[in-house]
Chain A
């Protein structure tokens, strides 16, 4: 047993015998520094803790220590200070540190602020409550279903929640809509809150962050805003892609990010696409996002979808036959939220009509939903999505020409028309400027083969599909 393990075990025992407030006050930041010849040296953060542990809790500690190692007979406390290192103010040999005093910067921002009428009425909303973490207790690691599409992401998140700021900082999670990003992010927050209630946690989506920032600028409370965020031990920013194109917000976020990062505070970020693919994200932010750990959550496979449905059913305490379950899982493939919606629909129907949900009923109820998914898409939609994604004109795709920049989008287009619209090869050929059906067949096979080899292509396809089915997403692009 290492000293660290021993101390953790001892703390576990002591925690049971004294009150929570006492435990946190006196045992925070303590550790075993030395364990030799039956004498244990405990490092404590200050003189108060030293006196208290030596005079009041010595018996508790000794008893707990003895239950693990009977040779221990004395304990001693010393004040030990962990040296906090601030990269910003460390002097590299030979390089002079001139951080001590700096000129007040004259920024365009302060000038702009002056022109606005000062208003003192409104308060920044976050001042109202201290414990406003924005976390929803519904999301925990326990009820997150792990499968191969998300096991890496889940493992990274779990590791982060156990060692704040020490592993994977910043942690960047990306994946499509409704695949569980928010669930994972909130789980980190909830787990940390459970284990380290004294940590300051903030979960916020980037939209709200921007609003708060704008408010604080309006009320001339920008310093308070910054200070507030710089005090966090764990900052979770959801849907960071919405920061794209907002220069001032990105700028402030950059400074907050740096301040936290230097103090080894944990930052967790999510987005619907990798940092590289977020347009108009400033390079310095992008490179910082990429500096930590990037994990993705992809679509769940059939088995996972079934498992999710089963756990939802268990949670709701209802029964649904296997066949219906499979039917739902097979047909709703894009998104877990939709999966839950479909399930709810089936359950509501059977409850409403007082009939047990059977495969027949399920098919009938969901037929509309499934039809909606497929039928809504026309070849024109595919055209517009491809054109906007690759920044091309429709004519480019149709006219003759074998430039690399056009050939690839054209092949992807053929592939999508085939897989999503189930068009015959010859029709696809006609649609794209009267090409031969073998050309289309070749394109289809090529993409089909490559999508499993090249992860970039796979990502490309999944984001195209997303735009195809959730056109709202691309309004932000």
Chain B
């Protein structure tokens, strides 16, 4: 193999691939990336057998070939070469890879490309696409809710449900839940039936993190297809393939209350500030804080206390749009704060029924005087 390419291109691709390489020692080749020439391009792939990433960069190919080289070593070299250099990449029969510029030379021992796992590829045209920025925005918010407890494997991913022209992504760690709505466009009418039959799946959180890394601020569209047991994405020419988590996601829709007997609008900044203060006092007390709403007085009182260090109380104004009786609830402040942080805009609607049932946090459209329905964050209060 012999070719020329630029340092920027290679660095960009390596930054997507490096995290995907496997760390398991049973199959050492997984810690490598595969270089191969294909159709006048350099194709680089990496996999840990759960996620696979394939991407191509342009360059001048002089001789075809393939070789697998250690990802960490390669990345450390490439990252430190000044930008703008043109790299000459060459491999020999002993699977040694030479990379050289006029001033930098490197030689590293690789493995035979034939032993590298074959990453499944989707070669047809993708049936659906959606906005990359909206997806990135929504998924970033959801990832904090994904469970890390591997004893319930289905909660370690993000659930995706197709419904009409939107899909709903949701994540929960069984204490709180976040859901977002993202519109998509169907590029193939025939795929509609497939979606009707198979309308949901669970995507591993790791896969989504990789996808977010690939999406740059310039990225416009993400293409996607769900197949038996696996998922394919294409973002700016980079293909990401992932397994699907095998399991039954809890039927979370029924957790989200349809109606609320109380709802009030708060200023996000005020609320955030009050919660942060409260969290400093609650850290000794299992993160417990108390929220009290007084519709008559039009204010909300946030308190937290601990016997060891002291207590605090913050009063902030609230615009009550529904409900007239005072309400007091206890929460884990971390869960509430996570939710508040993800809501866009300056105002937040807090909706509740009773002190024992789930509450919802949503954005508030001040002009139309209604809740923004694209996203909802549900938290369960602490039962006293």
Contacts and interface: CB of A to CB of B under 8 A. Distances in A.
Question: Are A and B a genuine interacting pair, yes or no?
Answer: yes
Interface of A: 21-22, 24-25, 45-48, 50-52, 55-56, 78-86, 89-91, 96-106, 110-111, 114, 227, 230-231, 259, 263
Interface string B133-160: 0000000000000000111111000000
B250 A51 contact: no
Interface string B150-185: 111110000000000000000010111100000000
B384 A48 contact: no
A101 B26 contact: no
B120 A50 contact: yes
Given A48-B47, A98-B255, A230-B151, A104 B175 contact: yes
Contact of B172 (A85, A100, A230): A100
A53 to B, nearest CB: 10
B99 interface: no
12 contacts: A48-B49, A48-B52, A78-B228, A81-B246, A86-B154, A90-B248, A97-B254, A100-B174, A100-B252, A100-B254, A104-B332, A227-B149
Given A51-B120, A89-B248, A106-B288, 5 more contacts: A21-B27, A46-B243, A52-B118, A86-B248, A100-B172
Given A25-B49, A100-B177, A259 B118 contact: no
Q: Which of B149, B229, B243, B306 has the most CB of A within 10 A?
A: B229
A312 to B, nearest CB: 39
A110 B286 contact: yes
Given A22-B27, A106-B286, A100 B230 contact: no
Interface string B113-127: 000011110000000
Given A83-B246, A230-B151, A101 B120 contact: no
A51 B117 contact: yes
Contacts of B230: 46-47, 79
A56 B230 CA distance: 20
Contacts of A79: 228-230
Among all A-B residue pairs, the 7 with the closest Cβ atoms: A100-B250, A79-B229, A47-B120, A51-B118, A230-B151, A21-B26, A100-B252
A263 B52 CA distance: 28
B174 A97 contact: no
B241 interface: yes
Given A78-B228, A106-B286, A227 B150 contact: yes
Interface string B224-241: 000011100000000001
A101 B176 contact: yes
Nearest to A114: B284
A116 to B, nearest CB: 11
A97 B251 contact: yes
A83 B244 CA distance: 12
B172 A81 contact: no
B272 to A, nearest CB: 21
B378 interface: yes
A104 B176 CA distance: 10
Contact of B243 (A47, A52, A80, A100): A47
A82 B248 CA distance: 12
A106 B285 contact: no
A103 B120 contact: no
Contacts of B117: 48, 51-52
B172 to A, nearest CB: 6
B264 interface: no
Majority SS at the chain A contact face: loop
Contact of A104 (B52, B151, B378, B382): B382
B248 A103 contact: no
Interface of B: 26-27, 47, 49-50, 52, 117-120, 149-154, 172, 174-177, 228-230, 241, 243-244, 246-248, 250-252, 254-255, 284-286, 288, 306, 308, 332, 335, 356, 358, 378, 380-384
Contacts of B153: 84
Nearest to A105: B383
Contacts of B172: 100-101
Contacts of B119: 48, 51
A89 B252 CA distance: 11
Given A22-B27, A101-B252, A103-B382, A48 B118 contact: yes
A259 to B, nearest CB: 5
Q: Which of A51, A55, A103 has the most CB of B within 10 A?
A: A103
Contacts of A82: 246
A58 to B, nearest CB: 12
Given A78-B228, A79-B230, A101 B358 contact: yes
Contact of A86 (B174, B247, B335, B382): B247
A104 B382 CA distance: 5
B383 A106 contact: yes
A384 B27 CA distance: 63
A367 to B, nearest CB: 57
Contacts of B244: 81
A227 B151 contact: yes
Nearest to B380: A103
A56 B118 contact: yes
Contact of B380 (A81, A85, A104): A104
Nearest to A85: B248
Q: Which of A91, A96, A100 has the most CB of B within 10 A?
A: A100
Nearest to A55: B118
A103 B50 CA distance: 33
A379 B286 CA distance: 58
Contacts of A24: 26
A101 B332 contact: no
A21 B26 CA distance: 5
B239 to A, nearest CB: 12
A99 B174 contact: yes
A25 B116 CA distance: 13
Contacts of B381: 103
Q: Which of A48, A97, A110 has the most CB of B within 10 A?
A: A48
B255 A84 contact: no
A102 B26 contact: no
A103 B151 contact: no
A47 B119 CA distance: 8
Contacts of A114: 284-286, 306, 308
Contacts of A56: 118
Contacts of B118: 48, 51-52, 55-56
B378 A46 contact: no
A22 B29 CA distance: 11
A102 B380 contact: yes
Contacts of B255: 98, 100-101
Contacts of A51: 117-120
A263 B356 CA distance: 30
Nearest to A106: B382
A105 B174 CA distance: 12
Nearest to B229: A79
A47 B241 contact: yes
A98 B251 CA distance: 8
A106 B384 contact: yes
B254 A96 contact: yes
A7 to B, nearest CB: 19
A226 B222 CA distance: 39
Nearest to B177: A101
A102 B358 CA distance: 9
A45 B228 CA distance: 11
Nearest to B284: A114
A74 to B, nearest CB: 19
A114 to B, nearest CB: 6
Contacts of A46: 49-50, 229-230, 243
A51 B284 CA distance: 53
Contacts of A85: 248
A96 B255 CA distance: 10
A101 B247 contact: no
A98 B378 CA distance: 13
